[in-house]
Structure 1
C-alpha cells in the first residue's frame, strides 16, 4: 500500500521474464561426437522447458555413453540445483575417462544455472581472482631436440609463457644401451609401471638430460617448461631421471608413476628437487586426498572433465591450497570444456596454468561464438562476464563438418535413454 492508501499495480513491464530459475526444468540431453578438437570429444547439450540450452563436454576419447546414461536422472530436475544433481549422479563416474559423463554434465548444468541467473559461471563458485587465465601449450615431441626446441620456440613467439613437452622412454627405444626391457615391453601399455620390468640405464638418463639441455638452449630460461610422458618405468628409474633433470629448472615432471601409488609418489617427491605433478585421471576430491594429505606431490593436476566438473575441481583446488600445493589444469578439449576451465581457474586462488592441446588446430577458436578471435591471445584467455560459460552459442555448421564419421548424426535424439533406470541407492 502506498502513501495514498492505494495498492500498487504489479507489472512485469520492466522485468525480464526470459528465465524463471525456480521453474526451469531439464527436458532433454543429447550429444554430438566430433573429432580433431584436438581429439575425439562428445559435446553435451542439455535442453530446458524455457528454451535455455547448456553445453558441456565429455572428456577427450571417452565414451558418450557415460553422459547418455545420466539422461533419465536429469529430466525433470531444475538445473540450477547443481550440487543436488551432482550428488545424485556422481556415483556413475569413476577415474580416468569414466569420469567424463558426470563431469561434462556438471559443466552443462553450470552453463544453464549461469544463464538462468544472468551471471558468469565463476560467480556461482565464489567470484574471480583474475581477469585472464594463463595457458600452457602442450607440444608433441620430436626425436631431434633442436627441432623440438624450434617447435616450442614458435609457441613462445605466439605469446605462450609456459610450455610442455614429452621426455621419456619413447626417445630411448632406438638408442643402443639406453633401456633394459623384456620382449614385448614396447607395445605393452596396460601393465602398471612397477611391473613392466623396464629400466633406464645411465646412458639413457644421460641421453634424456642432454635432450632437455638442448631444448633449453633453444627456448631459453625465461619461460616455464614442464615435462610429461616418461613411460611405464619403475620408481628407481624415475628418481634417477628426476635428479638428472634438476639443472634445467622444469616447472614440473608429470605422471612418472601411477597416481594410485601414494607412497611411491612421496618417495619420488622427497628424492628430487623438481616439482612433481599428477592427477589428470583422478575422479573427485576424495580421490586426491591421499596424495595431498601425504604431501606426495608439489603440483596437483586434475582434468576437470574427469575430476567432476567445475565446482568439484574448485573444492579440490581449495583443499590443495590449504596444503601449500598449486593447481594446474590438464585438458585436451574444444573451447566448450576450455571455457568451463577458464571460469574454474578464475575462481581458484592457487591456480597455475591451463593446458592447451590444440595449438595446431586452426579452426579451434571458431567452434563457439561471441568470444575473442583467437580465443588465446598472448598465451592467455580473457575471463568473460557473460552468463554461464560465457560464449554465445556453438558454430553448428563448423561442428557438423567435424562430426565423427562413425557417428555422424548431429545431436541425435536420445529417447531410447529415457527409460534407463536402476535402484541407484548406495545403501540398504
Structure 2
C-alpha cells in the first residue's frame, strides 16, 4: 500500500511540475493577452502535494487528491467563444447545443424536440463575448426571439447551457444556483403503452410498474381510437387524411388540415357510442393499473370545449390525474369553463413561453395544474418562476419533457428546486440507447425505479456527452456533429424593441 502511495506522490509531483511549467511559459509568452496573463497569475496552483497527506489513510488520501478541484475556472473572467450543435435522432430530430468559453469549460443545452436548431444559432452572434454566468442578463437580451411552443427552443437551449456553465464555473449543481432543493429524487411519469390485446397490455403495464418501477402513468384517450367504428364521430370523414386517420401531426405545410385547425373550428363531435367506447378503453387500463397509481390523459383530438366537457364527465369516475391540452392554451376563458364543469383536474402549458403568458391562466384559475415544457417556457429559472407564481394561487406544477437527457436533466434540477412540483414526463422510456447519450458525472444514476435522483455531487447539469453514442444516433438529415458555425458569428441587426 505504501509503495502505491509513493508512486502516486511521485506521479503527482511530475504532473504538478509540468502543469506549472506550462502556465509559466504561457505567462511569459509575449503573445499572451493581459487578461489571460492576469487570470493565469490569479489561479496559479498552490502546490497540492501528496506528501502533505502522509498521515491519511490510503482511502482518505485518494478521496482528497481526486476531489473535483476546478483549476482553470475564474468565473468573473469567463467569456463565450463559440456555439456548436449535434442533431440527434430523438423525437424526429432534437438538437443538443454546446456553448464554449475562453477557459475550456462548456455548457450543454437542447433545442426542443422537433424544433429547428437555427432558433439557437441565430442567437450566437448576440451572446459571443458575454460572461455566461450572467444568466438572467443574457436571457433578458434574447428572450424577445422566443415565441410559443418550439419557437422558444433556441432561447431555452441557451439558457440551459448557461446554467450548466455557471454551475461548472462555481463547482455547484444547477439546483443550488436556483436557491436549493426541496427533494432528493424527482418523480417521473411514463406513457402507458398500447397493445393489440388486453393480455398484452397487462404484460406491458406490469413491466412498466413492477420492473421499471414507475409510480405514475399517462395514456392517450384519442378519437383516433374510434377509427373504423361507425357511428362514433360526427364530421370526422371530412377531416381524415389519405390514410383515413385524424392525424394531428400530419402535413405541417397544409394550413387547412385537421392537425392545423384549432379545436373550436372543426365541428367534430363524439357520439354517445363513441363516448362509451372511450370510457371502456380507460376502464380497461384503470382495472389493470389499480387506483394507487395516478393515470394522466392526453391527445383527445381536435374538438370544442362542449365535447371536451362531455368526454371528461364520462371519465370523471375513474379519478384520472388530469386532462391535458383539451383545447389550445390561448383560450383562457374556455379553459375556465371546462375546469369549472368537471371534477378531474385540468392542465395545459407545454406550448406556453415565459411567465407573462402563464399569468392569465393562473390569475383566472383556469386550470388546476400548470404544465410547462422547460424547453419552451424559458429554461430553468423562468420555469421555477412560473411554478413559484402558480404556488401563490394554490396551483401545482407538472413538467412536460420529450427530448434528450440534456433537457431531461435540466428539468430534474428545476423540479428539485420547486416546492409545488408533482411529476416530470419521461417520453423515451423504451428507447434503449436514450440514457447512454450522456454520462452522469456524479455517483447517482439518471433514472432509478421510476425516479430521477437529484445530482448532489456534480456541478452544472451533472452530465457530459457520450460522443460515440451520439454519433451513432444522429438525425440522417444533418450529420455535421459539432462542426464550426462561423457563419452565425456576425450580428446583422439592431435588436432593441423600442425607439
What interval of TM-score do these two structures reach, taking the shorter chain for normalisation?
over 0.9
Q: Does 1:33 align with 2:87?
A: yes
Q: CA deviation at 1:183?
A: 4.0
User: Which residue is equivalent to 2:143?
Assistant: 90
Q: 2 CA distance for matches of 1:65 and 1:287? A: 24
Structure 2 equivalent of residue 316 of structure 1: 386
Deviation at 1:162, TM superposition (A): 0.2
Q: Secondary structure at the residue paired with 2:107?
A: strand
TM-score, with normalisation over the residues of structure 1? Answer: 0.94
Which residues of structure 1 form unaligned runs of 5+?
A: 1-9
Aligned to 1:405: 476
Partner of 1:155: 208
Aligned pairs, number: 417
Question: Which segment drifts farther, 219-228 or 37-46?
Answer: 37-46
Alignment RMSD: 1.7
* Structure 1 counterpart of 2:230, from 161, 176, 179: 176
Q: Does 1:52 align with 2:105?
A: yes
- Of residues 362, 383, 390, the one that matches 2:432 is 362
**1:7 equivalent in structure 2:** none
Task: Show CA shifts across 1:229-256 (max 9, x none).
Answer: 0000111110011011111111111111
Structure 1 residue 409 displacement after superposition: 1.2
Residue equivalent to 1:70: 123
* Aligned 1:109-188 pairs, distance under 5 A: 109-142=162-195, 147-157=200-210, 158-181=212-235, 183-187=237-241, 188=258
* Secondary structure of 1:184's aligned partner: helix
> 1:366, 1:373 within 8 Å by CA — same for their partners in 2?
no
2:354 paired with 1:284: yes
Q: Which runs of 4+ in 1 moved over 6 A?
A: none
Partner of 2:8: none
Decide which of 355, 376, 380 is 2:451's aligned counterpart.
380
Give the aligned partner of residue 237 of structure 1.
Answer: 307
Instruction: Determine if the alignment matches structure 1 residue 341 to structure 2 residue 406.
Output: no
Bigger RCO (CA 8 Å, 6+ sep): 1
Deviations 1:310-356 (A, max 9, x none): 00000000011011111000000111111100000000000000000
The answer to whether the Cα contact below 8 Å between 1:31 and 1:43 also exists between their aligned partners in 2 is yes
Structure 2 partner of 1:107: 160
> Match of 1:243, SS?
helix
Which residue matches 1:3?
none
Which residue does the alignment assign to 1:275? 345
Cα distance change on mapping 1:140 and 1:290 into 2, 3 Å: farther
Q: Which range moved further: 85-94 or 167-176?
A: 167-176
Asked if the contact 2:159–2:379 (Cα under 8 Å) also holds between the matched residues in 1, the reply is yes
Taking the aligned partners of 2:196 and 2:396, their CA distance within structure 1 comes to: 31
> Could you state the TM-score of these two structures normalised by the residue count of structure 2?
0.81
| Conserved 8 A contact 2:445-2:453 | no
1:139–1:357 CA contact under 8 A, matched in 2 = no
Whole-angstrom CA distance in 2 between matches of 1:16 and 1:67 = 28
The structure in which a higher percent of residues are helix is: 2
Q: What is the deviation of 1:145?
A: 5.7
Instruction: Summarize deviations over 1:90-124 as a string: whole Å, max 9, x none.
Output: 00000011011100110000000010111100111
